[in-house]
Structure 1
């Protein structure tokens, strides 16, 4: 088993191989996530409204 000093050295070597995103890439990706979240919220709101309207129509027609 490796000692702690070797472990730390290996961790540093592996971290140095990581390609970190640029500030612009992080910003663009974050904006895309917010846009997609807003679009999904709008979509599911419309689906919910449609199902609710349909069920209310059915219940009003056949309900007592």
Structure 2
């Protein structure tokens, strides 16, 4: 494996980082809000699914007694 010069490596890293298209503050805000909305929707969905399964299992177990 060829040894690389750390200075050259850092220059290459800076050159590649300059090519990155960074999101604007507005895009970051919109994406963050959408993530929070999706997390809340997933939490409500899993709460409802958990409650439905809990009620179903409780009902089935009450039939066995």
TM-score greater than 0.5 by the shorter chain: yes
Structure 1 segments unaligned to the other structure (5+ residues): none
Q: Which whole-Å CA distance do the structure 1 matches of 2:6 and 2:48 have between them?
A: 56
SS in 2 for 1:26: helix
| Cα distance, 1:3 vs structure 2 | 1.0
Residue 22 of structure 1 corresponds to which residue in structure 2? 24
Are residue 41 (structure 1) and residue 40 (structure 2) matched? no
- Computed over aligned residues only, the root mean square deviation of the Cα atoms, in angstroms, reads 0.8
Which TM-score applies when normalising by structure 2? Answer: 0.90
Q: Which whole-Å CA distance do the structure 2 matches of 1:39 and 1:21 have between them?
A: 25
SS in 2 for 1:47: helix
Which TM-score applies when normalising by structure 1? Answer: 0.91
Structure 2 segments unaligned to the other structure (5+ residues): none
